[in-house]
Amino acid sequence: MIMRIVALVPGGIGDQILFFPTLDDLKRSYPNAQIDVVVEPRAKDAYRVSQSVHSTILFDFKGRNSLADLGNLLGSVREREYDIVLSLGQSWTVGALLWLTGIPNRIGYAGSASERFLTSAVPLKQNQYAAQMYHDLLQGLDINTPCPELALSVPTKDLEWAEGERKRLGVQNSGYVLIHGGSSQLAKTKGIDKIYPVKSWQGIIQDFEYRQPELPIVVVKGPEDAEFVEALLETSPKLKVTAPADVGKLAAMIAAASLMLCTDSAPMHLAVAVRTYTLALFGPTDPKKLLPDSSRFVGIKSLTGKMADLSPQMVLEKVWSS
């Protein structure tokens, strides 16, 4: 008989990737289990590079869900007859939903509004690396192994695409710096200070061009990055531009880079997973909660907590001293 496990993982692609070590350890502990995740539509693409998840169930945790929406999710979960559920959601609504599913083992965090509906509540320790915080949930299943490193399973066709892309860009036989500016419309809409000013990026790129004119610099152009990339090309027309269509192709491009320069974003977590040396720029958020303790992944935090106050000089000092 196959054990069935489901995890409720709100958040974006970055949150999903940070949850990968928990899913991977679950699979190691229950190798014959079928593991599914309930995930927001915007984050589904993360599971293109997961090595442990069987399927995804879409649900907009942060949307204005009607009773019909909640009923549809409840029906989808109940019909699969899961044995175990792990939940990152801490609201009363999520807890009640878990109870209504009838899943016998319901694991979440202690101290949350949903705790009364759980069969096992794990202490929530927020002052640590987020992947470790998520991994703590496995204590509710008496799994007390150390949190493994982030790991991906990139499809072969994505690796092949990236190989062809590097050939197109003329960087297949050399190292390159990859820049992801993270021009997220969601961050702008919610007023989250994660976007580094274009002028500061221009200053960093121009310093690279002056010091190492032969070193290729590749900029990632996402769906919302047209203006950002155009502005960089105005001052640095020799920049190379790549536009991976999904997480797998982006991960493959990051894996081949010598250095990743980025903001606090999902690509940062991809860089950690593929072990590319990374310098990540932070405004108000704490790098210790979003990066593992490793010299390969360096968080550069603004002293004022504002991205605009993080000078190019501070970033470049880290670049050239590494």
The pLDDT, as a whole number, for residue 63 is 78
pTM score of the predicted model: 0.94
Q: Are 133 and 193 part of one and the same domain?
A: no
The pLDDT, as a whole number, for residue 228 is 93
The per-residue pLDDT for range 48-84, each reduced to its tens digit, is: 999 999 999 999 988 787 888 888 999 999 999 999 9
Residues in the chain: 322
In a domain, 70, yes or no: yes
In a domain, 277, yes or no: yes
In a domain, 55, yes or no: yes
The pLDDT, as a whole number, for residue 173 is 80
In a domain, 148, yes or no: no
199 burial (CB, 10 Å; 0-12 / 13-18 / 19+) is exposed
For 79, other C-beta atoms within 10 Å of its C-beta total 8
Do the Cβ atoms of 281 and 310 come closer than 8 Å?
A: yes
Element (H, E) at 121: strand 120-122
In a domain, 299, yes or no: yes
Q: Are 27 and 117 part of one and the same domain?
A: yes
Backbone angles phi, psi at 163, to 5 degrees: -65, -45
187 burial (CB, 10 Å; 0-12 / 13-18 / 19+) is middle
Q: Are 181 and 306 part of one and the same domain?
A: yes
Q: Are 18 and 107 part of one and the same domain?
A: yes
In a domain, 50, yes or no: yes
Structure tokens at 61: 């945790």
Q: Are 207 and 123 part of one and the same domain?
A: no
Do the Cβ atoms of 289 and 130 come closer than 8 Å?
A: yes
CATH code of 48's domain: 3.40.50.2000
Q: Which stretches of the chain score pLDDT less than 50?
A: none
Closest to 110 in 3D by CA, of 78, 142, 87: 87
In a domain, 151, yes or no: no
Q: Are 168 and 114 part of one and the same domain?
A: no
